[in-house]
């Protein structure tokens, strides 16, 4: 009697395994895009974000100065009110970093085209802080431009 119960269970288990494993050999159309970001650009972007966060640790004025000095061409820097007493802590989701060659900043000076250099987009969590206290966290995407050995970004308004 126990053998009779095991045979259907074994048959169902075998069938289930065949169905699940059968999908492993399926061909997915498209082209793999692994490794499209040169490791040197990835290192530059990580270093830029670390420097921006370090400037935030030094206070709002230091971070605003860093972000203003590294603002990408053609995009206006946010008004001074944006960094009065707030700083930003940015954490990237590195595996989402990818080229975004057709992107251009939404608020650019008239006649400004695509930023010169390699444009990348990455998912990011940005914590807005007042001193050591986190006010809120925004999750979205951030764009960076790598041109030679320099990274520029687009400073958001922290308020």
Residue 8's pLDDT is 54
Residue 88's pLDDT is 94
CA 156, distance to chain mean position in Å, is 14
For the question of whether the overall pTM of this predicted structure is more than 0.85, the answer is no
Contact 87, 155 (CB under 8 A): no
Question: DSSP string of 7-60?
Answer: HHHHHHHHHHHHHHHHGGGPPPPS---TT-S-HHHHHHHHHHHHHHHHHHHH-H
Residue among 51, 61, 57 nearest 144 (CA): 51
pLDDT 10s digits, 91-143: 999 899 999 988 877 766 667 777 889 999 999 999 999 998 999 999 999 99
Contact 115, 104 (CB under 8 A): yes
pLDDT of 81 above 60: yes
């Amino acid at each position: 009697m126990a053998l009779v119960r095991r045979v259907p269970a074994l048959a169902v288990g075998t069938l289930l395994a065949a169905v699940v494993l059968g999908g492993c050999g399926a061909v997915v159309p498209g082209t793999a895009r692994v490794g499209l970001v040169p490791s040197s650009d990835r290192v530059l972007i990580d270093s830029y974000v670390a420097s921006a966060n370090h400037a935030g640790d030094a206070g709002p004025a230091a971070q605003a100065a860093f972000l203003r000095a590294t603002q990408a061409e053609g995009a206006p820097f946010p008004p001074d009110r944006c960094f009065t007493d707030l700083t930003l802590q940015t954490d990237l989701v590195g595996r989402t970093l990818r080229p975004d060659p057709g992107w251009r900043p939404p608020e650019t000076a008239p006649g400004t085209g695509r930023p010169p250099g390699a444009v990348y987009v990455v998912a990011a969590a940005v914590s807005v802080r007042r001193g050591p206290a986190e006010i809120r966290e925004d999750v979205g995407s951030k764009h960076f431009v790598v041109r030679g050995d320099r990274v520029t970004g687009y400073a958001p308004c922290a308020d």
